[in-house]
Amino acid sequence: MVYHEDENGYVSPESDEMEETRTEVEQAATFDRAKFLKKLGSTVFASLLVPAVFKDQFSAKANDPADTAPEFPILPEPTEDEDILVRMMRDVQRAMKKPVDQRRWSMVIDLRKCVGCHSCTISCAAENKLPDGVIYRPVMEEEIGTYPHVSKRFIPRPCMQCDEPPCVDACPVNATWMRKDGIVEIDYKQCIGCRYCITACPYGSRVFDSGFSYMDGLPSKGEAYLSPEGAIVYEKAPAYEYGKKMPREDHQSPIGNVRKCHFCLHRIEKGLLPQCTVSCIGRATYFGDANDPESLVSELIGKPNIMVLKEEMGTKPKVYYLV
């Protein structure tokens, strides 16, 4: 880990992990460039000209790991008893090979399997570097019955990614819309922070980033019991939502914006599952492409014990619950 201290004394991280993410992006870019140049080189004219002009670049790219690196994580051959996470990753990767408008990202949550550990809530916060006051996937708890015949039900509540999203029509500046793959996206650079969409969402899925920090009110640097440097690494770490790097700086987006769950779109597009799905200790969260009849979520959505929250609102959620 490398730290850089800015003028306010804040230590911003340059962790190895981020370094990796950045080079991945850069590699992808150079990979495209290499392909483009090769295409150009195939024309007769260019085949004479280009090697002479770009000689150095070509020889450098020949050994680039991006040329040989797989687009998505390599998965083992399917087996009878494989973890459903592997199967769902395969579903995701298969969907990613289709055009974007043929994908229909959906989530199924099996309430019978959820034990209320809140791992999804926390891993989501860690993945998206959520500050204090912003939570994308709380787990709602309901107590049923009277003592001694009591049971508890846990209902994780991500964004429902509705097919008829009331939040989209509420936005006065077109800062939120439904993507072709069904995910409701927010453009943080466009959002003015009026919070009308929050009132319009029947599920309370949208939250406002007031600019809080988990460090507020803690003993200042040097007096803290726990390493403040460690905490600041988290607080100031950039988020990579929607595949864009978003450093956390005062008065800058996403502070002052409305935020919400996006099914970890930045992970899906790299062939990974949403963080809540992989961190679920009971494998109660399923994710995949509902347009693909072979996918696990399609199988589950077809079950008779499936339901959606507040069906009467007509929002047509793409998050389903098994009860």
Partner 1 sequence: MAQVRNKREGLFWFLAIACFAIGLIGIYDRLVHGHVNANYGSYIPWGLWVAAYIYMIGLSAGAFVMSSLVYVFKVKAFKKIGKLSLLVALATLVGALVTIWMDLGHMGRAWRLMLKTNFMSVMGWMVWLYSAYFILLIIELWLAMRSDLVRCSQESGLRGKICSFLLFGNKDDSPERQAKSARLLTILGTIGIPLAIAFHGSVGAIFGVVGARPYWHSGLTPIIFLIGAFLSGGALLTFIAANWAPNKGTDEHRSMIVLLGKLLLAMLAFDTLLEYAEITVGLWQSVPEEADALKMVLFGDFWWVFWIVHVGLGIVVPALLLIFKGKSVRAVAVAGALIAVTFLAVRLNIVLPGLSVPEMEGLLHAYSTRGLTFDYFPSVSEWLVFIWSISLAGLIFLLGKTYLPILDDKGNESLS
Q: Find the radius of gyration of the CA atoms of the chain.
A: 23
134 in contact with partner 1 (CB under 8 A): yes
139 in contact with partner 1 (CB under 8 A): yes
Residue 184's DSSP bridge partners are 178
257 in contact with partner 1 (CB under 8 A): yes
285 in contact with partner 1 (CB under 8 A): no
Q: Which of residues 213-252 bind partner 1 (CB under 8 A)?
A: 216, 250-251
Q: Choose between 216 and 294: whose C-beta lies nearer to partner 1.
A: 216
323 in contact with partner 1 (CB under 8 A): no
Q: Choose between 136 and 291: whose C-beta lies nearer to partner 1.
A: 136
Q: Total residues at the site for partner 1 (CB under 8 A)?
A: 51
Q: Which of residues 164-203 bind partner 1 (CB under 8 A)?
A: 166, 168-174, 190-196, 198-203
Q: Choose between 88 and 139: whose C-beta lies nearer to partner 1.
A: 139
Which of 141, 294, 299, 311 touches partner 1 (CB under 8 A)? 141
Q: Choose between 167 and 278: whose C-beta lies nearer to partner 1.
A: 167
272 in contact with partner 1 (CB under 8 A): no
Question: What is the identity of the amino acid at 3?
Answer: Y
Question: What is the identity of the amino acid at 303?
Answer: K
Part of the chain binding partner 1 (CB under 8 A), chosen from 43-51, 133-141, 225-233, 293-301? 133-141
d(CA 273, CA 196): 31
How many CA atoms lie within 13 Å of 120's alpha carbon, on the beta-carbon side? 29
Q: Choose between 195 and 221: whose C-beta lies nearer to partner 1.
A: 195
d(CA 91, CA 73): 13
Q: Mask 291-310, x = binds partner 1 (CB under 8 A)? A: ------------------x-
Parallel, antiparallel or unpaired: strands 319-322 and 105-110:
parallel
The distance of closest approach from Cβ of residue 118 to partner 1 in the complex, given in angstroms and rounded to an integer, is 8
Cα angle 182, 185, 188 (rounded to 5 degrees) comes to: 175
Q: What is the DSSP string of 138-206?
A: -EEEEEES-TTS-EEEEEE------SS-HHHHH-TTS-EEE-TTS-EEE-TTT-----HHHHH-TT---
Q: Choose between 41 and 211: whose C-beta lies nearer to partner 1.
A: 211
The distance of closest approach from Cβ of residue 229 to partner 1 in the complex, given in angstroms and rounded to an integer, is 22
d(CA 30, CA 38): 12
208 in contact with partner 1 (CB under 8 A): yes
Contacts with partner 1, residue ranges (CB under 8 A): 121, 132-135, 138-142, 155, 157, 166, 168-174, 190-196, 198-204, 206-212, 216, 250-251, 253, 255-258, 309, 313
